[in-house]
């Protein structure tokens, strides 16, 4: 059985970028529902028994559509919460990551712009990701709860940074202004975590 992860901070810790109300619904209701619905699939499919979430995601083509949607939902939200940290306690991109970003996108500003556009341009619900693919940085967006670790998804790579652009991620605070949420998002990126994920991904 899968469990809802503990948040690495309190529900108001990401204010003013993500307020406690949004966090309470997003983590306490939406994320919890993905966990509950994934566990319903575990009850139906003995092949899910004893697997790690990562194993399920990497072999998602073997499982049901509900497992893809809810397993992805659990994995992506776990990843997202760990990608965030309170304003002023969120570190900075390492020298190695900054160099790779400049090589891939021309400048840090251009990288941010491209990432924001990937999020803003995702029609409907989904995610924008910074991934390492063949040791190079790439920005992609995925629909629904898909990610680039899924064998069934067309783009492959190790995620290092993600932002949730489902309306539930921002609507209580930002209403229809997804682009404004994406601009504010940079204030709470946990660069220490992103640096660590980058270092592991290029090994």
Residues of this chain that interact with Mn ion (CB under 5 A) are 164, 166
Comparing CB distances to Mn ion, the nearer of 85 and 163 is: 163
The least distance separating Mn ion from the CB of residue 77, rounded to whole angstroms, comes to 6
Nearer to Mn ion, 148 or 195 (CB): 148
Q: In whole angstroms, how close is the CB of 92 to Mn ion at the nearest point? A: 26
Minimum gap (Å) between residue 200 Cβ and Mn ion: 24
Residues 6+ apart with CB under 8 A from 43: none
Q: Is the distance from CB of 153 to CB of 164 less than 8 angstroms?
A: no
Handedness of CA 168, 122, 73, 163 (dihedral sign): negative
* DSSP single-letter state for residue 131: E
Q: At closest approach, how far in Å is the CB of 165 from Mn ion?
A: 9
Query: Min. distance of Cβ 3 from Mn ion in angstroms?
Result: 18
Residue 146 or 164: which CB sits closer to Mn ion?
A: 164
Peptide bond just before 16 cis, omega within 30 deg: yes
Classify 139 in phi/psi space as left (phi over 0), alpha (psi -120 to 50) or beta: beta
Q: Which residue has the tokens 């990608």?
A: 83
**Whose Cβ is closer to Mn ion: residue 45's or residue 171's?**
171
Closer Cβ to Mn ion, 26 or 193, answer by number: 26
Tell me whether residue 151 is exposed, middle or buried, using C-beta atoms within 10 angstroms of its C-beta: 0 to 12, 13 to 18, 19 or more.
exposed
């Amino acid at each position: 059985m899968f469990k809802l992860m503990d948040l690495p901070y309190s529900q108001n810790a990401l204010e003013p970028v993500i307020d406690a109300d949004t966090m309470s619904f997003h983590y306490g209701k939406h994320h919890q529902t993905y966990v509950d619905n994934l566990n319903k699939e575990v009850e139906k499919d003995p092949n899910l028994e004893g697997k790690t979430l990562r194993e399920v995601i990497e072999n998602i083509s073997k499982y049901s559509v509900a497992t893809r949607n809810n397993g992805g939902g659990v994995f992506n939200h776990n990843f997202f919460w760990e990608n965030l940290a309170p304003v002023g306690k969120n570190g900075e991109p390492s020298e190695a990551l900054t160099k790779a970003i400049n090589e891939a996108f021309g400048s840090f500003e251009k990288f941010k712009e491209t990432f924001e556009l990937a999020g803003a341009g995702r029609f409907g619900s989904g995610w924008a990701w910074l991934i390492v693919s063949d040791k190079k940085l790439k920005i992609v967006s995925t629909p629904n709860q898909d990610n680039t670790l899924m064998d069934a998804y067309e783009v492959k790579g190790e995620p290092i940074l993600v932002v949730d652009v489902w309306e539930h991620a921002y609507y209580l605070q930002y209403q229809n202004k997804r682009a404004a949420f994406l601009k504010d998002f940079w204030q709470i990126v946990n660069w220490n975590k992103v640096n660590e994920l980058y270092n592991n991904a290029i090994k």
